[in-house]
Structure 1
């Protein structure tokens, strides 16, 4: 109703202008006054015709120029608008209607359309944020010379675009692939690799039946048990912290880069993300599984309302973890205690602690890192500029 009143207000303004010009010409007389009156007539006639002209019957086609978009990058698209007549359109503006998280980055186009049936408009969005964004359609506005009579129409043309996290190329080096020869002592327990027998020993009560060396028993009639080499697994369990943090976008970028590096190295990993929703993928080994992780990381938000140490205590997926990589921007004593209670088979735990560049550690943080190291946890401070060297720094420490 308000829009209708505004439109009628513009029409009344044009009528008032036309009547005023006529009265002025009648009373004033002369060439100039009548010239002004006749000049106003075509402009007023156009305003009346525009008032009754329908701009809703338009066709819109959108072509995405950027094939794959990453966080903070540039997005480009071309809008192609068609109509079935040549009614002259003067001041015409186009605007892409987008989802709320893109309102600050959208752009407009103002043009003099004229008699053309088609119009193309290419726009760009700089520094587009990560996420799943909806392009809903085009808002078109047309006005007369005075801006009194104007028309507006929305032409729907839905399109969903995915803006992926920034992916950093990195060389993946398994964090812990050492056998017992040369391995350093750790409070985190090791596990025997039952696929690699290194010898036999006398049977002891409690040994598993599957460990008995039956060929030796057939020869000597004495029970012998296979001996296995202690090994630490190359398979990683990736745990991402979704607690609110100013560095959350960096954590997402680091997580996505690590998952890509692991898959390209033909290694195996598991992935867990906990927040308002929980995503657990027990095996990430191929491109399809990696795409599932990246799709999750595209939409994920820092929506973990409870402290993460309270959430992971009841998570069964951590119970059998042997090698853990934790990605976060903050870590606490409570988290270490929760992990040790939950992951009872844990042998190796590395924490990538994302920090701002040139930020110095406080004395309390240094003391905490020493405490974590004494409990078998390896904390690696990493900044965005050094994501590519993440695994190299772990192996040097």
Structure 2
């Protein structure tokens, strides 16, 4: 960094020394040679230098910045195409523009800067690709424009702002053992419409709690002369996914900590893809609990992107509002907090499964079973080293 700064300073000083030498030579030539041509050459050089020096100050006036990003929601490692557009007034002259975009520290990009030479265009577009290395919510809000004179002696810097938010969510994997995932109740096939469309559907009056499926006007028109609708009823199991990891888990093994978040996203995606509503409980400075449906699943991406580990001194557990149902507790490894969560959910008559990034020992599986929980190991398409998904415990 220091070497680069020294090189820039050296080049800057060299340009000024060279320019001063040219002026002194032209002035000396005019003084000793005399005549119209010699003085015309000197004053012409002075006029060009002054005009060139004024243009950088004028060319940064009235600049506007626009920014477009190919995707507002992306996964870690996915390439984003970013376009930065600067627009200048039509009457404003310029000689050189050097446009560079400021990317977040966790992004990598091959070329986020470009040099534009004189033209009559009003808009100048910088397009490049960037990839995020970590999940999170990031802002692209700053671009820097350098306007230069003809000789590179004077450079004026201006910072332009145009905020654009990008949500980088963890990658998730397709779960291949969905039948095992949905085998939490005696009527799992009723709940999993993607595997077997076995829903209770009939022509009857509306009953509180039913969800509108579709309207069959032909069948409805002649039922006792009343206008009825077709409704669909489901057995709502109150599916909840809890991600719980303490700070010591994140510090001890950051890779397994991030892997546990991917596990939670994968399980969540498996339910959402089959139009099964889920409740998410994640920690981000406090416990956040929200219901996610198929129509607003993008909101959950932001929650997963902002997950933080639970402080070691934090003893508060996520609140429970409903009894019964099923709960998946996703955590990097076996811990006391995970056992406490299992007992709390079991006390609310819920069927609880724990998913860990690090394989559990037999003693730990026994502890989970003693607390009333089960162990579920998902099977993913991305890797062959995952064990076959199955359930352990009571």
Contact 1:95–1:109 (CA under 8 A) maintained in structure 2: yes
Contact 1:65–1:76 (CA under 8 A) maintained in structure 2: yes
SS in 2 for 1:177: coil
Whole-Å separation in 2 of the counterparts to 1:384 and 1:27: 85
Whole-Å separation in 2 of the counterparts to 1:337 and 1:252: 20
The one of 369, 374, 377 aligned to 1:378: 374
Q: Which runs of 5+ in 1 are unaligned?
A: 1-5, 180-231, 356-360
Partner of 1:295: 302
Partner of 1:111: 115
Partner of 1:176: 184
Alignment CA distance shift 1:143-1:14 (3 Å)? farther
Q: Report how far residue 323 of structure 1 moved.
A: 2.5
Q: Map residues 73-222 of structure 1 onto 2, 5 A cutoff.
A: 73-85=78-90, 89-98=94-103, 100-102=104-106, 105=109, 107-118=111-122, 119-127=124-132, 129-170=134-175, 172-173=178-179, 174-178=182-186
Give TM-score scaled by structure 1 length.
0.65
Which has the larger displacement, 346-355 or 162-171? 162-171
Alignment CA distance shift 1:388-1:317 (3 Å)? farther
Q: Report how far residue 151 of structure 1 moved.
A: 1.0
Partner of 1:304: 310
Q: Report how far residue 90 of structure 1 moved.
A: 4.2
Partner of 1:249: 258
Alignment CA distance shift 1:249-1:105 (3 Å)? farther
Give TM-score scaled by structure 2 length.
0.65
Q: Report how far residue 325 of structure 1 moved.
A: 0.8
Contact 1:72–1:130 (CA under 8 A) maintained in structure 2: no
Q: Report how far residue 241 of structure 1 moved.
A: 1.5
Q: Report how far residue 78 of structure 1 moved.
A: 2.0
Whole-Å separation in 1 of the counterparts to 2:48 and 2:380: 60
The one of 32, 38, 61 aligned to 2:66: 61
CA deviation vs aligned residue, 1:183-211 (integer Å, no higher than 9, x gap): xxxxxxxxxxxxxxxxxxxxxxxxxxxxx
SS in 2 for 1:336: helix
Partner of 1:270: 279
Partner of 1:354: 357
- Count residues in correspondence: 323
Q: Report how far residue 123 of structure 1 moved.
A: 1.3
SS in 2 for 1:132: strand
SS in 2 for 1:393: coil
SS in 2 for 1:161: strand
Alignment CA distance shift 1:15-1:53 (3 Å)? farther
Which has the larger displacement, 17-26 or 111-120? 17-26
Whole-Å separation in 1 of the counterparts to 2:385 and 2:268: 15
Q: Report how far residue 176 of structure 1 moved.
A: 1.2
Contact 1:88–1:115 (CA under 8 A) maintained in structure 2: no
